[in-house]
Amino acid sequence: MTGAECLLRTLVACGVDTCFMNPGTSEMHFVTALDRVPEMRSVLCLFEGVCSGAADGYARIAGRPAATLLHLGPGLANGLANFHNARKARSPVVNIVGQHSTGHLRHDAPLTSDIEAIARPVSAYVRTVERVEEIGCETANAVRAACEARGVATLIVPADLSWSGAGEPVSTQSAESPAAIDSSRLREIAAILRSGEPAALFLGGRALWAAGSASAARIAAATGVRVFANRYGARYHRGGGRPSPLRLPYFPEPAEAQLAGLKHLILVESAPPVTFFGYPGRRSLVAPEDCALHVLASPDEDGVAALEGLALECGLSGEPANASSAAPPDWPAPGPLTLDAIGRTMTRLLPDNAIVAEEAVSSGEPILRHLAAGPAHEHLPVTGGSIGQGLPVAAGAAIASPDRKVIALEADGSGLYTPQALWTMARERLDIVVVVLANRRYRILDIEIERTGAGEAGPRANDMLDLTRPNVDWAGLAESLGVEGLRAATSEEFTAAFRSAVSRSGPILIEAILE
Amino acid sequence: MTGAECLLRTLVACGVDTCFMNPGTSEMHFVTALDRVPEMRSVLCLFEGVCSGAADGYARIAGRPAATLLHLGPGLANGLANFHNARKARSPVVNIVGQHSTGHLRHDAPLTSDIEAIARPVSAYVRTVERVEEIGCETANAVRAACEARGVATLIVPADLSWSGAGEPVSTQSAESPAAIDSSRLREIAAILRSGEPAALFLGGRALWAAGSASAARIAAATGVRVFANRYGARYHRGGGRPSPLRLPYFPEPAEAQLAGLKHLILVESAPPVTFFGYPGRRSLVAPEDCALHVLASPDEDGVAALEGLALECGLSGEPANASSAAPPDWPAPGPLTLDAIGRTMTRLLPDNAIVAEEAVSSGEPILRHLAAGPAHEHLPVTGGSIGQGLPVAAGAAIASPDRKVIALEADGSGLYTPQALWTMARERLDIVVVVLANRRYRILDIEIERTGAGEAGPRANDMLDLTRPNVDWAGLAESLGVEGLRAATSEEFTAAFRSAVSRSGPILIEAILE
């Protein structure tokens, strides 16, 4: 058995059975080993940022790592931006990177680069395999590192180790086992809640999943504590009448307004809320200056268990909060397409238990607001702000959960960083409806240019935010990559297109041309 | 004047007047300053790999740096792969990367990352500006570093420095002044050439430009020394009857055959030839084991002057070698499209003094062979092997040289790493004919899979090299990004399309569907 085959078999034995890949010469032994390791699903991507983003989306939904297989330092470099997002999402990923053969490395051939140095800024763990006898152990260690750190574990494999004879694959069970929450901490937090001083829970990580949000809602109902969500959490359960904490707004002023007057902010699997960017003369921290910060559960601890423990400490029994049935929104009025209209239509037509992968910072909010009143779904938002995550995350989520409909809610500017994801959607016949919100502008920058005090945008500045010279034909782009493309410029057209798209299976893109 | 304006004005004062950008919030002051610094041309790219590749192409043709303006660590990360190619091409680039404002940085906001660490593997110089008073000097230093090191100089600018008040811009003249070649070295090399032992010159860097190749050809004619080119040189003058040294083949066996029997290999601005990849049981060095390596000029020295000095040392007068007029190839026979047919047509129709940006490792050779007999042109080949350089390099070359026709000879697999370059070609109305060689396969890997001894490709392995599920519609892709797209599946269709394309101005893409 070659080192490459041993590595693949070890991955499978450790529970990693999906690999997003863009292999090159130094990875050919992995590719031929695929026919001997049928348990490993291999998904070809045309650009490495699709691999890394798909692995992020996969991990967010599956709760366990996929592998990526990338070609040398430059292949890794192309995957880096979405690994940054995976890191911020706390998504486990086992990132296999081929390296030149050991003897070749010292000759500084064209593709030679310092792979470890490229990997480190986004990786929780970086190792280069040094002996083929250890390739099984090294692979199992990388899986364990990815799971335990909930991050990217990069394993670099020189080509000669992938083609040399190796030992047996290694099996390991690695499940993250977060530390138990100290009961004295629960008592302290409960005392704060009983103090009557204005307090709020700030949820991130797994505390945003249904069980965590439900416990938080019960505590809130009993104590009057407010509940907010870190908007950069990786995965939210929303809709279906379940309680869903308010995501803190993107911009500092409305975010600060939400937290105004608070004396205690209780962090559950989250760092304190900070603004996305710094602005002249503004604080970065969002909570009031005299608001005390308390940690109920750190990001490495189990926030759901902590919230359950806190509920018990507050004397609340285990019964769930009642689901409140919010009324769905009215259908949109006919006319030119607006974000509000898209939100209404999507909420009315959203299939139950859908996954909404969203990358639409300036356009998403009016849609997401409606969706909260829709059927139960999961929302996978922007985590690290590296642009180009939405389409790959949607692809990975669809592979992790083939029975669920995935909606990719994508800004037209952001989508153009990784449009190659569409090809993988077509190839794998993924059940995804991509909605491209085409305002033909880097809209967020219209706002940021003012916020940063950069002054009036003259014609040349304006031109750098403008995506109309030429307009991108998103429906045509989708078709060129094998995905059916539809176009909608009115509410009626969008409703017809979305209805058609959700009633069928397979990838479809709707270019939503905004007024 | 803001720090951002001071930086832009300093760039202009230092001779850097073109900036390929994909700015975000932290770069807004640069964007608004564009209206106050009209001397700076700003070129918007939809993906940072286009910025970095275009800056490489610009530098190869202009012989001086362009700037890039990228957004934080993730924006830099997306540009990394083409910066790798720029580094290998020895292209000067002034890479400006925005950073969070100083006060914001410690809060680990979503987009926070270690920008210096991300930059280092591809940069000859990395600096973070610390005081706004120094932004002019720091910028001038970065320009000087890029020019002197002929590499990527990365200057990281915290947002608060770009929005604070700065002093006057700084002007500096920085021209690389390579060390003179020691005359004793010229005598030693001349003695080797006179020894009668089999010897060859191996040219890289600027030695591949017309003057260097001409001197080498004169020396060869007088002494019998052979002349080879490093195939990863950044820029070759070819065609027009000028001598053009043989590029060593990509694969080791034919490359070794070319050098077989040599006792002396004389390096001119090049490291010794090595294979692109290491293979089981093969050496990485291409020259025979008993072949002595001599350095006439290191990559940091002036190879053209060294070759002229060597010619004088060999007693050759300054008169140029006669241009030999190679006969142009016949027109291709009608029928299904082949690489040979593309090469014939392109050679017959190539405009004089064109630039051929080529990224077609497995398909390019039959075309390039014909082109050597065509009119004078420059060839910009693959340098570092990071895939996705061809289209951006073509865009940058066209901006550096608006009066010349640029041909982008692009493999269909490689082109899909940075297709966003097409949009910039449309926006800037660049005079580029993109020829996509559509074999719908990672063809090079068919060969490499065998060479690496990876064994028979089973159906699953084969599927990872296959780009037909679905076929990419390259002409449609071009149209979706605003570039006219043509399709050719026969020699006749290709000739008609190419004739039409070169007779007009502005970007056109021809999808050459290979039999």
Share of chain A above pLDDT 90, in %: 93
| Residue B454, phi then psi, degrees to nearest 5 | -80, 0
Q: In this structure, is residue B437 part of a structural domain?
A: yes
Instruction: Tell me: do B138 and B206 sit in the same domain.
Output: no
Residue ranges of chain B with per-residue pLDDT less than 50: none
Tokens of A194: 């009983």
Q: What angle do CA B251, B256, B261 make, to 5 degrees?
A: 170
Residues of B in contact with A423 (CB under 8 A): 416, 470, 472
Q: Report strand pairing: B236-238 vs B377-380.
A: antiparallel
Pick from B29, B84, B284: CB nearest A77: B84
pLDDT confidence tier of residue A226, bands split at 50, 70 and 90 = very high
Q: Is A424 on the interface with B (CB under 8 A)?
A: no
Q: Is A117 on the interface with B (CB under 8 A)?
A: yes
Instruction: Tell me: do B142 and B195 sit in the same domain.
Output: no
Q: Is A417 on the interface with B (CB under 8 A)?
A: yes
pLDDT for position B178: 72
Separation of alpha carbons B328 and B348, rounded Å: 7
Exposure class string for B463-473: b at 16+ Cβ within 10 A, else e: bbbebeebebb
Interface of B with A in 184-243 (CB under 8 A): 232
Separation of alpha carbons A165 and A400, rounded Å: 32
Interface of B with A in 253-272 (CB under 8 A): 271-272
Q: In this structure, is residue A178 part of a structural domain?
A: no
> CA neighbours within 13 Å on the CB side: how many for B41?
12
Per the CB < 8 A criterion, the answer to whether B178 and B206 are in contact is no
**E strands in B288-353:** 292-297
Instruction: Tell me: do B145 and B188 sit in the same domain.
Output: no
Residues of A in contact with B460 (CB under 8 A): 34-35, 38, 42
Instruction: Tell me: do B364 and B231 sit in the same domain.
Output: no
- pLDDT, tens digit, for every residue of A292-309? 999 999 999 999 999 999
Where do runs of H (alpha helix) occur along A314-389? 339-349, 365-371
Q: What is the mean pLDDT of chain A?
A: 95
pLDDT for position A515: 80
- pLDDT, tens digit, for every residue of A2-19? 999 999 999 999 999 999
Residues of A in contact with B42 (CB under 8 A): 460, 463-464
Pick from B46, B107, B274: CB nearest A285: B107
Cβ neighbour number for residue A28 with a 10 Å cutoff: 29
Residues of B in contact with A18 (CB under 8 A): none
| Distance in Å, alpha carbon of A362 to nearest chain B alpha carbon | 13
Q: In this structure, is residue A324 part of a structural domain?
A: no
**Nearest of B368, B366, B365, B344 to residue B356 by alpha carbon:** B368
Number of domains in chain A: 3
Pick from A272, A445, A460: CB nearest B34: A460
Sign of the alpha-carbon torsion through B288, B294, B296, B299: positive
Q: What is the CATH number of the domain that holds B134?
A: 3.40.50.970
Separation of alpha carbons A331 and B448, rounded Å: 57
Q: Is B116 on the interface with A (CB under 8 A)?
A: no
Instruction: Tell me: do A114 and A239 sit in the same domain.
Output: no
Instruction: Tell me: do B414 and B456 sit in the same domain.
Output: yes
Where do runs of H (alpha helix) occur along B314-407? 339-349, 365-371, 390-400
Instruction: Tell me: do B136 and B238 sit in the same domain.
Output: no
Q: Which of A253, A278, A313 is the last residue of a domain?
A: A313
Q: Which of B109, B132, B163 is the last residue of a domain?
A: B163
Per the CB < 8 A criterion, the answer to whether A134 and A155 are in contact is no
- pLDDT, tens digit, for every residue of A161-179? 999 999 999 998 766 667 7
List the single best residue of A1, A69, A78 to mutate versus B (max B Cβ within 10 A): A78
pLDDT for position A244: 86
- pLDDT, tens digit, for every residue of A324-378? 667 889 999 999 999 999 999 999 999 999 999 999 988 999 999 999 999 999 9
Residue A349 neighbours by CB under 8 Å, 6+ apart: A495, A498, A499, A502
**Nearest of A177, A171, A116 to residue A149 by alpha carbon:** A177
Cβ neighbour number for residue B211 with a 10 Å cutoff: 16
- pLDDT, tens digit, for every residue of A228-250? 999 999 999 999 988 889 999 99
Per the CB < 8 A criterion, the answer to whether B367 and B410 are in contact is no
ipTM over 0.90: yes
Instruction: Tell me: do A14 and A157 sit in the same domain.
Output: yes
Per the CB < 8 A criterion, the answer to whether A36 and A85 are in contact is no
Instruction: Tell me: do A216 and A292 sit in the same domain.
Output: yes
Mean pLDDT value of segment A12-31 = 97
Per the CB < 8 A criterion, the answer to whether B400 and B424 are in contact is no
Instruction: Tell me: do A358 and A500 sit in the same domain.
Output: yes
Q: Is A416 on the interface with B (CB under 8 A)?
A: yes
Q: In this structure, is residue B322 part of a structural domain?
A: no
Q: In this structure, is residue A319 part of a structural domain?
A: no
Report the interhelical angle of B210-223 vs B183-194 (nearest 10°). 40
Q: Is A479 on the interface with B (CB under 8 A)?
A: yes
Q: In this structure, is residue B169 part of a structural domain?
A: no
Q: Which of B313, B328, B354 is the last residue of a domain?
A: B313
Residues of A in contact with B284 (CB under 8 A): 103-104, 107, 109
Residue range(s) defining the domain that contains residue A203: 183-313
Instruction: Tell me: do A201 and A288 sit in the same domain.
Output: yes
**Nearest of A395, A424, A423 to residue A408 by alpha carbon:** A395
Instruction: Tell me: do B129 and B93 sit in the same domain.
Output: yes
pLDDT confidence tier of residue A318, bands split at 50, 70 and 90 = low
Q: Is A471 on the interface with B (CB under 8 A)?
A: yes
**Nearest of A356, A344, A279 to residue A499 by alpha carbon:** A344
Q: In this structure, is residue B177 part of a structural domain?
A: no
CB-CB under 8 Å, B456 with A32 = yes
Per the CB < 8 A criterion, the answer to whether B469 and A427 are in contact is yes
Q: What is the CATH number of the domain that holds B281?
A: 3.40.50.1220
Q: Is A148 exposed, middle or buried (0-12, 13-18, 19+ CB in 10 A)?
A: middle
Residue B61, strand partner residues: none
Q: In this structure, is residue B84 part of a structural domain?
A: yes
